[in-house]
Amino acid sequence: MALLDVKNLGISFGGLRAVNEFSLEIEKGCLYGLIGPNGAGKTTVFNLLTGVYQPSDGVILLDGENLVGKKTIEINKAGVARTFQNIRLFKELSVLDNVKAGLHNHYPYSTLEGIFRLPRYFKVEKAMDERAMELLSVFDLDKEAATLAANLPYGKQRKLEITRALATRPKLLLLDEPAAGMNPNETKELMETIRFVRDEFDMTILLIEHDMKLVSGICEKLTVLNFGQVLACGNASDVLNDPEVIKAYLGE
Amino acid sequence: MKNPSGRTYAAEGNEKYTGWGNSMSFISYFINGISLGSVYAIIALGYTMVYGIAKMLNFAHGDVIMIGAYVVMASVSGAGLPPFAALLVSVVFCTVLGIVIESVAYRPLLNAASSLAVLITAIGVSYLLQNIALLIFGANTISFASIVPVPALALAGGALTVTGEAIVTIACCIVIMIGLTLFIRKSKAGQAMLAVSEDKGAAQLMGINVNGTIALTFAIGSALAAVAGVLLCSAYPTLTPYTGAMPGIKAFVAAVFGGIGSIPGALIGGILLGVIEIFGKAYISSQMADAIVFGVLIVILLVKPAGILGKNIQEKV
Amino acid sequence: MKKINKTTRSNLITYGMVIAMFVIMQALVSAGRISSLLQGLLVPLCAYIILAVSLNLTVGILGELSLGHAGFMCVGAFTSAFFSKCMAEAIPAAGVRYVIALLIGAASAGICGILIGIPVLRLKGDYLAIVTLAFGEIIKNIVNILFIGRDENGFHFSTKDTLSLGLSMDGEVIVNGPQGITGTPKDSTFAIGMVLILITLFIVLNLIHSRSGRAIMAIRDNRIAAESIGINITKYKLMAFSVSAALAGVAGVIYAHNLATLTAQPKNFGYNMSIMILVFVVLGGIGNIRGSVIAAIVLTLLPELLRGLSDYRMLIYAVVLIAMMLFNWSPKAIAWREQYAAKFRRKKQKEV
């Protein structure tokens, strides 16, 4: 059974059919790309998958559990984490605290235990610190742990966002244009990071991308979206050579 | 904050016409409500236009009303100007005041990271205006002589009197609403306002002077506030440095009620709120009238946060 | 784990500062170096400090503007004063009575915070500000028309006047509408106020530096991202807001138990009070708890020391508020500050 199984997803805004009959199957451990021209509805698909929008039709199954109708936080608890096209970090918090916020649901203690500094507070906070530092060192961010997130350079902010998403222990990681605004060197480093995340964390990843080099370099499978419809899907090399896809990207 | 309405119109009507049965007093309350609501509507226009264009809650708007009323009072009793000239002086003064407030206090924060910053600054400006008035005019309540020259109108053989102030207020409100709608629909500056309220960046790219348009919005809003101040103080003839604050906040409630950013919404919201307030005072409890008005706000925000004519805007992810 | 040490140290400095202030003031009082006017300000000062700290929890940590903080204070003041007056004979031990009054004041203000917060915290900032303001005015309105009396048949309520309470001969009016509550035992002292400030600081600082505080600040910085990592927005917003309201209630208890007659005036529980507390928070630094304490102390005591300024006090507050906001938040001012700081650093490097 596929980890993520999306069938006939659809949503309209006003009279506009933003996404129509969208289906997608992602096997566990796969690095999957969702591509398409601007305005094709890629981010809308992410918003549907994470409960920001509620689809008007279709089902979303994660490990057999239907996600349709659930709220964003429930979907995260069910195992979907994401990053954002325009980076959304907790800017006034330290890098460490950004990751610890991601650990929020997995290291519980009550507010009263926190206020009165009961033993569990110290125990859990210590475990959180250790886990967060572990994650940060994986992404080479451990030296910046005390820095404010807002003061990180751009490339590291992207990395921190991925780290924070991973801290929530997802089964599926959604990356929304992770290479946006990066130079070729940073993009190359990012490709390695993404591949590393998949191997190290045994993660299933769905990413939206414009950068064809990144897509062809790391995605094993692709779905192409155009005007809210699936134009093609399958193995990356086949899809990228599909004349329909080339037409949609380059025009006629 | 003091409730400016030391004595209420409706209550007066009640005393005079108790013999004529409930329907006459009901109509009298209703007219008073529409009259008060017209003032709220004129004030609410200032809030709604500024909110639509600058996306900020101009907390000091209510205090501009108070300044406008003081200017009229000073120019009538101090400088001996005729009422209409005094009104003109007040409108010009408040227009300039509005532009100064915008350029000194709000414009530097137009692109600030925190929306809280502009709101707190606006509160600061409101506080500043109140305290300047306090230093100049003192804390004592000044009685404000009505400058409305229209006599009261007796209807139904004297069973129902409509005051001149009510007639002028309602007429002013209608004229302003029509004028403003025409201005926005027909004039170039009005179209620029619409464009800026839709998308500041795009408007700038189309060659619209965004800062100028925002300043113009403040100017119009403040000029209307001066008119509203005079109307309000003619109907409820007392004036203190805090006179503007409560009607200002109620007018904001009216703007929210009608749907913030919408000009017809300001009219509907203002009139409804005025009627609710006067009826609340007359039939429920005069001390609780403010509480009723604010209760209305909480209920609207619960049931329909975008207001009667407002659009629901969702944050983009 | 150097970072934890740093926050602990910073918290200890804050506590130490409060204790030092208490010791200095007490020394001055016992040496007779303080005017009776200033001495009378010490208990209200404690209430103001608690208000400033609790409002900073809402404004700085939760990132929402509340203009009804005086309303929550009012709730705490009136419920606790009502309790203390009713129980003055039943519970003769002032200490026990005061502790119960505190709990009642905090709980009732906290419950109001929850009731207001549930509908309102879904809204955006500007609306929240207006609704909290509206709430404060409603509370003041209600208190001013409330008449409660007691006789051997129990409690009597009215919203008209004392006569319509229908009390028997030896009945007693407890809440007398606009005349408020008279004869609340004056149990608040400077020392008690100081202990309550320390407790408030303990609660707020520890809340901020805990899992829940992190969640609250995450929501403040980016609500959408916080939702995406599974943080329950409503729960944490409500938590911060109601804790803040409950602490304002505590300030109300201190305030009420320092007055012969407690009335709800615009001056003490109105919008102006809420603004004054906001000035403390802005001047001390939004989100900076220690700053709120310092600002509350300085702005309360300074005008009394410099008497000549008293007429201009409010005016100065207003100007300071605007200037602080422009200086701290205007993009141009921020750029200018950074440029200046960079220049300064370069100069220093050259010198070295």
Q: Mind listing the pLDDT tens digit for each residue in B124-136? A: 999 899 999 999 9
Inter-chain CB proximity C222 and A105 less than 8 Å: no
| Distant-in-sequence, close-in-space partners of B283: CB < 8 Å, separation ≥ 6 | none
pLDDT in tens, C191-215: 999 999 999 999 999 999 999 999 9
- Averaged pLDDT, B275-293: 86
Question: Would an 8 Å CB–CB cutoff place A93 in contact with chain C?
Answer: yes
| Distant-in-sequence, close-in-space partners of B35: CB < 8 Å, separation ≥ 6 | B9, B163, B165, B166, B169, B170, B235, B274
- Averaged pLDDT, C105-132: 86
Q: What is the ipTM of this complex?
A: 0.92
Direct distance between the N- and C-terminal alpha carbons of chain B, in angstroms, rounded to an integer: 41
Tell me what pLDDT residue B303 has: 82
The helix/strand/coil state of B79 is coil
Query: Which residues from B are below 8 Å from A43, CB to CB?
Result: 317
- C26: how many CB neighbours lie within 10 A of its CB? 14
Look-up: residue for tokens 């006459």?
B24
CA distances from A191 to A179, A184, A195, A216, B272 (A): 9, 10, 6, 11, 60
Question: Would an 8 Å CB–CB cutoff place A94 in contact with chain C?
Answer: yes
Interface test with B, best of C311, C325, C332, C334 (most B CBs within 10 A): C325
Q: Which of A105, A111, A146 faces C3 most closely, judged by CB atoms?
A: A146
What residues 66-125 of chain A have any CB closer than 8 A to a CB of chain B? 84
Question: Would an 8 Å CB–CB cutoff place B26 in contact with chain C?
Answer: no
Cβ–Cβ under 8 Å, residues A7 and A62: no
Confidence of residue C338 (pLDDT cuts 50, 70, 90): confident
Question: Would an 8 Å CB–CB cutoff place C338 in contact with chain B?
Answer: no
Tell me what pLDDT residue C70 has: 92
Between CA B43 and CA A36 the distance in angstroms is 49
Question: Would an 8 Å CB–CB cutoff place B313 in contact with chain A?
Answer: no
Cα–Cα–Cα angle for A188, A194, A199, rounded to 5 degrees: 130
Question: Would an 8 Å CB–CB cutoff place C212 in contact with chain A?
Answer: yes
Question: Would an 8 Å CB–CB cutoff place B317 in contact with chain A?
Answer: yes
Phi and psi of C97, rounded to 5°? -60, -40
Between CA C138 and CA C132 the distance in angstroms is 10
Question: Would an 8 Å CB–CB cutoff place A120 in contact with chain C?
Answer: no
Look-up: residue for tokens 């609410």?
B44
The enclosing domain of B54 has a CATH number of: 1.10.3470
Inter-chain CB proximity A93 and C206 less than 8 Å: no
| Distant-in-sequence, close-in-space partners of B112: CB < 8 Å, separation ≥ 6 | B118, C329, C330, C331
Q: Determine the distance from the C-alpha atom of residue C116 to the mean position of all C-alpha atoms in its chain, rounded to a whole number.
A: 17
DSSP 8-state class, residue B107? G
Between CA A43 and CA B299 the distance in angstroms is 35
Domain presence at residue B199 = yes
Domain presence at residue B13 = no
Between CA C85 and CA A95 the distance in angstroms is 52
Tell me what pLDDT residue C113 has: 94
Inter-chain CB proximity A94 and C3 less than 8 Å: yes
By CB neighbour count within 10 A (0-12 exposed, 13-18 middle, 19+ buried), where does A223 fall? buried
Domain presence at residue B4 = no
Direct distance between the N- and C-terminal alpha carbons of chain A, in angstroms, rounded to an integer: 39
Q: Determine the distance from the C-alpha atom of residue C39 to the mean position of all C-alpha atoms in its chain, rounded to a whole number.
A: 20
By CB neighbour count within 10 A (0-12 exposed, 13-18 middle, 19+ buried), where does C248 fall? buried
Q: How many domains does chain B have?
A: 1
| Distant-in-sequence, close-in-space partners of C186: CB < 8 Å, separation ≥ 6 | C257, C258, C259, C260
What residues 275-294 of chain B have any CB closer than 8 A to a CB of chain C? 285, 287-288, 290-291, 294
Cβ–Cβ under 8 Å, residues C331 and B112: yes
Higher pLDDT, B52 or B2: B52
Tell me what pLDDT residue B314 has: 56
User: Strand A221-226 to strand A31-35: parallel, antiparallel, or no bridges (unpaired)?
Assistant: parallel
Lookup: tokens for B141: 């309540």
Residue B273 identity: L
Domain presence at residue B272 = yes
Between CA C301 and CA C42 the distance in angstroms is 9
pLDDT at C328 over 90: no
By CB neighbour count within 10 A (0-12 exposed, 13-18 middle, 19+ buried), where does A93 fall? buried
Between CA C239 and CA C229 the distance in angstroms is 19
CA atoms within 13 A on the CB side of C54: 35
pLDDT beneath 50, residues of chain A: none
Look-up: residue for tokens 């226009």?
B45
Confidence of residue B174 (pLDDT cuts 50, 70, 90): very high
What single string gives the DSSP state of each residue in C269-312? Answer: HSHHHHHHHHHHHHHH-TT-HHHHHHHHHHHHHHHHHSGGGGGG
- B53: how many CB neighbours lie within 10 A of its CB? 25
CB pairs under 8 A between B and C: 130
- Averaged pLDDT, C23-48: 89
Q: In sequence order, what are the beta bridge partners of B180?
A: none
Question: Would an 8 Å CB–CB cutoff place A52 in contact with chain B?
Answer: yes
Lowest-confidence range among B32-36, B132-136, C313-317?
A: C313-317
H-type alpha helices, chain B:
9-17, 21-54, 61-73, 83-101, 115-137, 164-186, 188-198, 200-205, 210-235, 245-258, 263-279, 289-303
C-alpha dihedral sign at C184, C187, C189, C192: negative
Look-up: residue for tokens 């507010």?
A111
B115, closest residue in chain C (CA to CA): C125
Q: In sequence order, what are the beta bridge partners of A59?
A: A7
Instruction: Give the H/E segment covering residue A32.
Output: strand A31-35
What single string gives the DSSP state of each residue in A79-94? Answer: TEEE--SS----TTSB
Between CA C248 and CA B6 the distance in angstroms is 32
Chain-wide mean pLDDT for chain C?
88
Distance from CA of C120 to the nearest CA of B (A): 8
Direct distance between the N- and C-terminal alpha carbons of chain C, in angstroms, rounded to an integer: 32
CA distances from C131 to A115, B51, B120, C214, C245 (A): 29, 17, 15, 26, 14
pLDDT at B175 over 80: yes
Write the secondary structure of C36-61 as one string of H (helix), E (strand) and C (coil).
Answer: HHHHHHHHHHHHHHHHHHHHHHHHHH
Cβ–Cβ under 8 Å, residues A208 and A220: no
**Percent of chain C whose pLDDT exceeds 90:** 47
Cβ–Cβ under 8 Å, residues A74 and A85: no
The helix/strand/coil state of C313 is helix
Between CA B260 and CA B254 the distance in angstroms is 9
pLDDT in tens, C252-298: 999 999 998 999 887 788 887 888 899 899 889 899 999 999 999 98
By CB neighbour count within 10 A (0-12 exposed, 13-18 middle, 19+ buried), where does B138 fall? exposed
Helix then strand then coil, in percent of chain A rounded to 5, is 45, 25, 30
CATH number (3.30.230.10, 3.50.30.10, 3.40.50.300, 3.90.1150.10) of A4-209+227-250 reads 3.40.50.300
Tell me what pLDDT residue B315 has: 58
Confidence of residue B42 (pLDDT cuts 50, 70, 90): very high
Cβ–Cβ under 8 Å, residues C256 and C235: no
- B243: how many CB neighbours lie within 10 A of its CB? 30
Q: Which range of residues forms the domain containing residue B109?
A: 31-303
Cβ–Cβ under 8 Å, residues C326 and C333: yes
pLDDT at C351 over 70: no
What single string gives the DSSP state of each residue in A138-155? Answer: HTT-GGGTTSBGGGS-HH
Between CA B95 and CA B60 the distance in angstroms is 13
Between CA A79 and CA A51 the distance in angstroms is 13
Chain-wide mean pLDDT for chain B?
84
pLDDT in tens, A54-68: 999 999 999 999 999
pLDDT at B154 over 80: no
Lookup: tokens for A94: 């330290």
The neighbours of chain A, by the rule of 3 or more Cβ pairs under 8 Å, are: B, C
Between CA B271 and CA B280 the distance in angstroms is 14
Tell me what pLDDT residue C310 has: 67
Q: Which range of residues forms the domain containing residue C81?
A: 42-290
Tell me what pLDDT residue B313 has: 58
- Averaged pLDDT, C148-176: 83
pLDDT in tens, B88-122: 999 999 999 999 999 999 999 888 777 788 888 99
Residue count of chain C = 352
Between CA C303 and CA A41 the distance in angstroms is 61
C-alpha dihedral sign at C71, C75, C76, C81: positive
Distance from CA of C286 to the nearest CA of A (A): 12
Tell me what pLDDT residue C330 has: 86
Confidence of residue C243 (pLDDT cuts 50, 70, 90): very high
Confidence of residue B6 (pLDDT cuts 50, 70, 90): very low
Confidence of residue C1 (pLDDT cuts 50, 70, 90): very low
Q: How many domains does chain C have?
A: 1
Tell me what pLDDT residue B8 has: 37
Domain presence at residue C16 = no
Q: Pick from C237, C247, C262, C270: which is nearest to C67 by CA? A: C270
Domain presence at residue C269 = yes
